[in-house]
């Protein structure tokens, strides 16, 4: 019986594979050639797709950076792990410099659990799960870190606002715009090259040590203000954003080639995706494309939450595969544990599923996708049907200031500028026939009635198991900004914080 168990297991537990998650920032479904982007400027990612498996129905857990990343690393919806706000209904919230909260100690992150299987874990790039000392990634399972706790906004004056620090492991080694330059006029910055070298060096070191590794490469060049290194500036057909995509594509090609040269590609599971949809508000110069889907980042329409996704594992994943499995960034938690031969925690609700049956055996798993904004379930997808229980693309006040998350895409009665409740009669779309969410099904149709009977049961079960976590994104205080991060003394970069004055955070969207 023991031999039979090993034969049926998709992964040999005696030799767990390395895990490499490539998480992009604000990159859209339509930004890759493999997903139909016409300029064909992502040859390495396109080759990765041809050698691995493309996911056409892969989602984030929230249309904004911080909650999405919290979901990926915990396998849990943001409303469960605390990455939401109750300051207002259905508002997106994240971790700016003045946020008081962060990832709770009660949450179990993937790297913490992977340590049980002997993994060495590194994060390169943006953490975004809280910047105060108790939220540091090395306190939550990572062994190494090179990157930043926040977005690369700035430059700031270090009086009203401090510039964002860049860390190596426990201590800051400089600040954006001071020691790590980003030229806002030209978009020139060398950060992606630095992140690339960090990845190559870590992989080489781990290969020499013969210990399995988890590398979380969470770079941010495609998040406004977009940047690229000098060699890539002006080389794309899509302006600065396209230049950044080209450099990322080139870097990923080098990373995959490095795995092959070291002879460990067949023992390294690689997954590429994005944290949320492209930021159409920043397009075309500072934002990407969501292809045929409606709206973008900040919204729970398809353009805000459906992501490009590629799985690559030579010798294991059949080349050229295309999966219609409904996937979610939370599944990387469960899939990573499965690859390591570990069971998910049994003391909490885990929303992610193990994708290995879909990836290795083509078995589709029936599961819903929930679309949340803050504390509200806005929509749910079951099969090819998507029901909107609430719609809201942005407030009239913000829209009148030019903040438009659906530029040129407004659909009457769908992209609403006030929060519209549809809980009695949800707006229902068939995403197979209408992926752009332009034509709601008739409430009176038999198709609507049949689909909603099934969806209503799914929603009832979901709500019955929903126990929201303590909201982490309610309180802001300028005193907790990055004034004096660990290591600032050595650099002479400690700044004096203002007096503590905690207030409710204001979230306009």
Q: Which two tokens stand for residue 30?
A: 């339509």
**Other residues' Cβ atoms within 10 Å of the Cβ of residue 156:** 18
Q: Is the dihedral of CA 21, 22, 25, 29 positive or negative?
A: negative
- CA 378/CA 375 separation, integer angstroms: 9
| Rg of the chain, C-alpha, whole Å | 22
- CA 220/CA 276 separation, integer angstroms: 12
- CA 50/CA 106 separation, integer angstroms: 40
Q: Which residues pair with 20 in a beta bridge?
A: 215, 270
Q: Which of 3, 5, 89, 128 is catalytic?
A: 128
Q: Which of 65, 151, 295, 505 is catalytic?
A: 65
CA angle 367, 454, 68 (to 5 degrees): 35
**Other residues' Cβ atoms within 10 Å of the Cβ of residue 89:** 14
Q: Residue 324 catalytic?
A: no
**Other residues' Cβ atoms within 10 Å of the Cβ of residue 27:** 30
b/e map of 243-258 (b: 16 or more CB within 10 Å)? Answer: bbbbbbbbbbbebbeb
Among residues 244, 241, 228, 221, which one has the least CA distance to residue 289?
Answer: 241
Extract the runs of DSSP E, i.e. beta strands, from 334-479.
369-373, 376-382, 385-388, 390-391, 420-421, 427-430, 475-476
Annotated binding site: 25-26, 65, 275-276
Q: Is the dihedral of CA 35, 37, 40, 45 positive or negative?
A: negative
Q: Residue 89 catalytic?
A: no
**Other residues' Cβ atoms within 10 Å of the Cβ of residue 100:** 19
**Other residues' Cβ atoms within 10 Å of the Cβ of residue 261:** 11
DSSP 75: S
Annotated binding site for Ca(2+): 25-26, 65, 275-276
Cβ(149)–Cβ(112) below 8 Å: no
Angstrom distances, CA of residue 313 to CA of 48, 113, 264, 324: 9, 22, 10, 18
Active site residues: 65, 128
């Amino acid at each position: 019986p023991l031999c039979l168990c090993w034969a049926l297991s998709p992964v040999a537990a005696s030799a767990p594979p390395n895990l490499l998650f490539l998480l992009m920032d604000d990159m859209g479904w339509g930004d890759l050639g493999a997903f139909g982007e016409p300029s064909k400027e992502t040859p390495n990612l396109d080759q990765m797709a041809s050698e691995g498996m493309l996911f056409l129905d892969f989602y984030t857990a929230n249309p904004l950076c911080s909650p999405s990343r919290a979901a990926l690393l915990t396998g849990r919806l943001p409303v469960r792990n605390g990455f939401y706000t109750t300051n207002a209904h259905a508002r997106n919230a994240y971790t700016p410099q003045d946020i008081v909260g962060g990832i709770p100690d009660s949450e179990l992150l993937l790297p913490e659990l992977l340590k049980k299987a002997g993994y060495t874990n590194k994060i390169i790039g943006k953490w975004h799960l809280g910047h105060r000392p108790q939220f540091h990634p090395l306190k939550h399972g990572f062994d190494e870190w090179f990157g930043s706790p926040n977005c690369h906004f700035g430059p700031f004056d270090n009086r009203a606002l401090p510039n964002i620090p860049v860390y190596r492991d426990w201590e800051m080694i400089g600040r954006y715009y001071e020691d790590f330059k980003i030229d806002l006029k030209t978009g020139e910055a060398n950060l992606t090259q630095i992140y690339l070298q960090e990845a190559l060096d870590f992989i080489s070191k781990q290969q020499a040590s013969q210990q399995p590794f988890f590398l979380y490469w969470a770079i941010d060049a495609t998040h406004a203000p977009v940047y690229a290194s000098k060699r890539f500036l002006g080389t794309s057909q899509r302006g600065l954003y396209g230049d950044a995509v080209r450099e990322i594509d080139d870097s990923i090609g080098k990373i995959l080639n490095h795995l092959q040269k070291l002879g460990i590609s067949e023992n390294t599971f690689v997954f590429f995706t994005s944290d949320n949809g492209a930021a159409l508000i920043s397009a075309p110069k500072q934002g990407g494309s969501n292809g045929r889907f409606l709206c973008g980042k900040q919204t729970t329409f398809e353009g805000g939450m459906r992501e490009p996704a590629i799985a690559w594992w030579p010798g294991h994943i059949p080349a050229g595969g295309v999966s219609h499995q409904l996937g979610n960034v939370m599944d990387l938690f469960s899939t990573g544990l499965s690859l390591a031969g570990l069971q998910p925690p049994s003391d909490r609700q885990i929303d992610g599923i193990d994708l290995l049956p879909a990836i290795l055996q083509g078995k589709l798993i029936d599961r819903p996708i929930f679309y949340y904004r803050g504390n509200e379930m806005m929509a749910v997808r079951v099969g090819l049907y998507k029901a909107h229980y609430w719609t809201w693309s942005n407030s009239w006040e913000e829209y009148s200031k030019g903040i438009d998350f659906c530029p040129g895409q407004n659909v009457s009665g769908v992209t609403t500028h006030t929060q519209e409740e549809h809980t009695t009669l949800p707006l229902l779309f068939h995403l197979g026939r209408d992926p752009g969410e332009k034509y709601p099904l008739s409430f009176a149709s038999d198709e609507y009635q049949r689909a909603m009977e099934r969806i209503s049961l799914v929603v009832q079960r979901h709500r019955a198991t929903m126990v929201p976590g303590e909201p982490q994104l309610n309180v802001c205080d300028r005193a907790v900004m990055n004034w004096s991060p660990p290591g600032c003394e050595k650099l002479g970069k400690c700044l004096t914080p203002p007096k503590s004055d905690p207030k409710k955070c204001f979230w306009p969207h």
